[in-house]
Structure 1
């Protein structure tokens, strides 16, 4: 009997587990592919020509499989989820009936005669085989069909969703990529070499550069010419704007017209488009800020007030208030933050935001030179030496330097802890969060006396959250402002380098000449670049270390442009001018956005202060002054209300605690959303969240 009850459930869970495991286990995925093609391969082949858009979506989304394999697995997964959904549906109905605890006789009387056996589902094993088959068929036609169709629909919808997301990222990075291609073409680099260089810069230029890997693969693997490769790249791109750029580029290359003037015009057009798109995105952000204040600040305040008034009138609304404060309000704010992140992505928030990447260290002492093999025993030698015998043991000084460099990272991190925390603000959480958790564990015995008492730990949670957010915000702001100052000086640096290089000095001599000028926080970085060069590093290595130390998208673009242009020509004046204009344009767009969003950040602050004021009045003055013990109030003239039921002192304390928690929840999310509105990064909102939490704690410490 127990096997009859548990067996189908275990079978359904096993089917679901196979689908989940196939995502990460290659062997299981290959086995599922073989089974799917054997069962549904011919069906997919028969209908493939009817939906060419699906094949295009798979290519645009870069799904690493064929259309036949993907379609066959889609049908297989739909069948699996339909069977599993049918079985799980039976257990869902069973669990619902057991949970409701409806009397079998009452349920049998309410159901039609053919469905009377459902009244016995409280004991599922007691059903006959025919009744179970009927129940399974009913579940298959309802829950199973819905699960199967949902799986089928999702599998074909998801590639289009990924392709649309890639299209947005491609169009966001297209202005910077066109400027990069324009600068490389002006440096004298041949266009096939430009395609190769761009395809290798996916980490710097994102999805826009990743599109060029399609053209590079066509050239290297299939031996196609650059025109055909570009046409293939354009056809497979999910971005209409990128396809248009590719078509125009192919036309210019085929006609023999000047490539640089065309790229310059395209860059100007895309820069204007980026400015107009930012204006549209800023208007949308303004609308969202107003909607947030109305729906998620004023709306909750109004609802809390109404529920309190209903509670005063005698209805028990405390349970609804707790559900709203602890569940509905946080989930609504999290949902708004997720949607807001999709909007702020259009403004390219990675510009000016730190990317925590390790610094580029010097080559290892044990790194083998080109053409030399490094063996497992640590020695080096050519293939001939490897055949004849081991090479001599390295000099002891080389071993000492190797161990020194192995410990250099640990020494730098722990020898300068403040600098390490500022460079990596998330490391502060590894220190502050365990301290707060330890304080909470120390308060648990008090909170668990006679049942759990939230008031014994809520102050610890609030003060701990304030401390964690404050320390993180300080480190984050110091790091962000340093990087912002460095990036703000980049256009000026590039202009000066261009002027000196135009006068006839090499790029290395230009850096030596410019580093003595006033460039703010860039001065120490230029000194470090110059020191690397003086100690024997080439300029590309020195610039690579500079990129690793700063670790921002705009610096990566500048370094990539300089290093690639130096390979083509020593005259970098035009390239430096182009890079300066691009960096200045990015900084201008960022400043415009910050200025436009300041007023909405102020609106969020004002709305939270109003929320805090009203809640403080309710908790500090209205609730404590209500009659306790069920005292009656004299009826107001013409009001029709003869009295109020009143609150006990326990109820007043419970309401005060709930209001306190409501301000903490609202303050945390309002602060994070304020930072997300102003900069597009949730981390920038930690200082606002800390300020609002601190203000809430201070107000309720005075009132209660």
Structure 2
């Protein structure tokens, strides 16, 4: 096995005098932990050699190439991001993009300056201090005062040009690191499933190289893991590397520590002549145990976040509201601070909290594996000869008619498959209803505070219900179907494995299972059995099943079985492996959901506490004080309190609006905690908003 990476000679097309100079050869930097082995330190380039570089690559690219050591990390990120560029080419393009962006920024500055000049903004500018005109800088002061517009235009244009250019430069410079981070998370999540896939194929009798090739073809199922193995296959097929070198190159290039360790262990196993199947089985068990430990740690983090929610979104707002009320009675003006808390700080804090949960949950989020229904050669676009056939137009009309009848027979099918499609209809309806109510109630901006309940219900609550109810309904139906399939899938696979071991074919086993099950899974398995008997294409039938249901666990299972049917006749071995892995994953998800229900209860109870305290402040405290004090307007004029008869309604409007914001935010956060989905929290938001409207309606 060679210790040096096999790379093509990049200097083949260079001039002879340039080609013989080792210091002017193009070198692609490698990861820093192999820099000492493959990337010697760059020496100072003499004037003649620098002239050769400039002649070959230009001034800008030569500038970056002569500083190779400075950009080793950038090159490593470019390699890991699979962007296919060397650092000098990438930075050269980044520089040109930055200059173009700076030019745009300068033009924007000129346009804004022209608008300022037309509106008199420059004329009204004054210095923050008033230096003496007769002082040592008197001439400068007079010059600036006489040329405000020109100086302002220059400063604004140069500032915007620099800002636009800097943003473009740093965005492009750090973009590879963002791509690397995304790929790292995707690899860490899908690697355990990919290892099970490889183990099942190897256990079924497929040789190791073919296993790698099959894994490289599973981009739709295993994402970036498939891309990593695709580079291994290309390294062998296109660049002539041996398998050891290709795996080592992939190990050096991968952004994931888990993938790097897996490839290290694989190289050790291959070098020692170990059993590939046994190695993959051990790796599958190791990653499964690691997933359990990591989930336990993640649940502890979510428990801490639920406590943070109680403190940050229940206790803290109540503390500020009560404190500001007391300050109002002592003569301080606090309405502006309450406006800031209710309409800016509270919504923004909830958005940031949801982003925080999403960021922490990203390493544990299962990718949405998608396989398109009816995928295969029969779905290819007809050729020109088919289009010329006189019967083709009749065929197209018949197929269009069948699709229309299918849509009319089940008009909500597309909503069940993709709940977000409901927004196409509900958003215009909500906008129309809101516009009608605003017109009929003759709403003015002042009414949002003076008639807070009526206007809030008509223009906020009703449109929200129109949009949220269908979306939440179809989302829950979709998730319920997925949970049903995930729950029944392990037992179904066990039955299929037993039936196959007893000598039944896959279609006979599917018929047996479909007759003993009920629900969506049974109906779909019966379709698979019919597809196999009528079309005799097991692989296509399984992939079509995955495409119709779009359940991640089922998609992975169908992919394994589809490839397993190619490699072995003893399908029960692969079915048993898949059943055990699916059962373990289902238990993991079930345990997580059960434990997170307690956190959801805590969050909702926190909202109920907030609502109760707000109601007490509104009805029993604020209202009672107004009644006892009597003429609050005279006291307000005397400066004893700042709560007048008009401001009482404003405080009540703020209380109602804050409760509505809390209701929506609490539901969304509950959904993120339990299912890492804001749509899963819509059902809680709908219920809490309805409760808020009812409570304030009886006040």
TM-score by length of 2: 0.82
Which residue pairs with 1:161 in the alignment? 178
Stretch of structure 1 that moved more, 434-443 or 512-521: 512-521
What is the aligned counterpart of 1:210 among 227, 251, 256? 227
* Distance apart, 1:255 and its partner CA: 2.9
Deviations 1:391-423 (A, max 9, x none): xx45x5x75454332343333233222444333
Q: Deviations over 1:492-515 (max 9, x none)?
A: 111111111112222233223332
1:378: which partner in 2?
A: 387
* Mapped contact 2:371–2:555 kept (Cα < 8 A): no
Contact 2:420–2:471 (8 Å) recurs in 1: yes
Residue of structure 1 aligned with 2:130, choices 84, 108, 125: 108
Write the deviation string for residues 407-449 of structure 1: whole angstroms up to 9, x where unpaired. Answer: 4333323322244433332233233222221111112335556
Contact 1:40 1:76 in 2 (8 A): no
CA distance in structure 1 between the partners assigned to 2:123 and 2:618 by the alignment = 40
SS at match of 1:623: helix
Kept after mapping to 2: 8 A contact 1:202/1:209: yes
Taking a change above 3 Å as real, the CA distance of residues 436 and 122 of structure 1, as seen in their structure-2 partners, is farther
Corresponding residue number in structure 2 for 1:617: 616
How far the C-alpha of 1:484 sits from its partner, in A, is 0.7
Q: Give CA deviations for 1:307-342 in whole Å, capped at 9, x if unaligned.
A: 232233322222222222222211111111112112
In the other structure, the counterpart of 1:63 is 83
Aligned residues: 633
Matched residue SS, 2:447: coil
Q: CA deviation at 1:600?
A: 1.0
Q: 2:544 aligned with 1:545, yes or no?
A: yes
Moved more, 219-228 or 98-107: 98-107
Aligned to 1:321: 338
Query: What is the CA-CA distance between 1:572 and the residue it aligns to?
Result: 1.2
Written as runs of structure 1 = structure 2, the 5 A alignment for 1:149-548 is: 152-350=169-367, 359-360=373-374, 374-375=383-384, 378-379=387-388, 393=389, 396=391, 400-446=394-440, 453-454=447-448, 455=451, 457-460=455-458, 461-518=460-517, 520-548=519-547
Mapped partners of 2:103, 2:560: distance in 1? 56
State the alpha-carbon separation in 1 of the partners of residues 162 and 577 from structure 2.
Answer: 58
* Mapped contact 2:318–2:610 kept (Cα < 8 A): yes
Q: How does 1:622-701 map to 2 (within 5 A)?
A: 622-625=621-624, 626=626, 627=629, 629-630=631-632, 644-645=640-641, 647-701=643-697
- CA distance in structure 1 between the aligned counterparts of 2:116 and 2:525, rounded to whole angstroms: 69
Aligned to 2:554: 555
What secondary structure is seen at the aligned counterpart in 1 of 2:425?
helix
With 149-158 and 582-591 compared, the bigger mean Cα shift is at 149-158
| 1:44 counterpart = 2:42 | no
CA contact (8 A) 1:117 1:127 kept: no
- CA distance 1:122–1:504, change in 2 (3 Å): farther
- Cα distance change of structure 1 residues 687 and 260 upon mapping to structure 2, 3 Å threshold: same
Q: CA–CA distance in 1 between the matches of 2:339 and 2:557? A: 53
CA distance in 2, matches of 1:356, 1:698: 43
Q: Deviations over 1:109-165 (max 9, x none)?
A: 49996598679879866557xx987x58xx96x887777666544433332232123
SS for the counterpart of 1:529 is: helix
2:187–2:225 contact (8 Å) kept in structure 1:
yes
Q: Partners in 2 of 1:665 and 1:219 — Cα distance?
A: 58
Hey, what's the Cα distance between the residues in 2 that align with 1:357 and 1:281?
30
Aligned to 1:371: none
2:25 alignment counterpart? none
Distance in 2 between the 1:630 and 1:326 partners? 27
Query: Is this contact kept in 2: 1:94–1:122, CA < 8 A?
Result: no
Worse overlay, 86-95 or 156-165: 86-95
CA distance in 2, matches of 1:618, 1:595: 36
Q: Which moved more, 1:469-478 or 1:562-571?
A: 469-478
Can you list the C-alpha shifts for 1:211-249, whole angstroms capped at 9, x where unaligned? 111112212322323222222211110112211211221
Given the superposition, is the C-alpha separation of residues 449 and 692 from structure 1 closer, same or farther in structure 2, using an over 3 Å criterion? closer
Are the counterparts in 1 of residues 190 and 367 from structure 2 also a CA contact under 8 Å? no
Q: Give, in whole Å, the separation in 2 of the partners of 1:411 and 1:701.
A: 46
Range with greater deviation from structure 2 (52-61 or 71-80): 71-80
Q: Are the structure 2 counterparts of residues 449 and 330 from structure 1 closer, same or farther at C-alpha, using a change threshold of 3 Å?
A: closer
CA distance in 1, matches of 2:138, 2:85: 47
Shift of 1:187: 1.4
Equivalent residues of 2:188, 2:363 under 8 A apart:
no
- Using a 3 Å threshold, how does the CA distance of structure 1 residues 220 and 333 change in structure 2: closer, same or farther? same
What is the SS of the residue equivalent to 2:198? helix
Measure, in 2, the Cα distance between the counterparts of 1:630 and 1:475. Answer: 51
Q: State the 1:561 CA deviation.
A: 0.4
3-state SS of 1:516 partner: helix
Give the distance between the partners of 2:77 and 2:226, measured in 1 at CA. Answer: 19
Equivalent residue of 2:315, what SS?
Answer: helix
Provide the C-alpha distance between the structure 2 equivalents of 1:273 and 1:453, rounded to a whole number of angstroms.
57
Q: Distance in 1 between matches of 2:269 and 2:476?
A: 47
CA separation in 2, counterparts of 1:81 and 1:125?
26
Q: Deviations over 1:610-641 (max 9, x none)?
A: 1111112222333333246535779xxxxxxx
Paired with 1:113 and 1:73, the residues of 2 have a C-alpha distance of: 48
How far apart in 2 are the matches of 1:667 and 1:280? 29
**Partners of 2:177 and 2:473 in 1: CA distance:** 41
Q: Give distance in 2, aligned partners of 1:122 and 1:95.
A: 16
Runs (5+) with no aligned partner, structure 2: 1-53
SS where residue 206 of structure 2 aligns? Answer: coil
Note if contact 2:132-2:138 (Cα within 8 Å) is conserved in structure 1: no
CA distance 1:182–1:132, shift in 2 (3 Å): closer
How far off is 1:669 after superposition? 1.0
1:10-49 superposed matches below 5 A: 38-49=58-69
List per-residue Cα deviations over 1:163-202 (Å, max 9, x = no partner): 1231122112111111111111111212222222111111
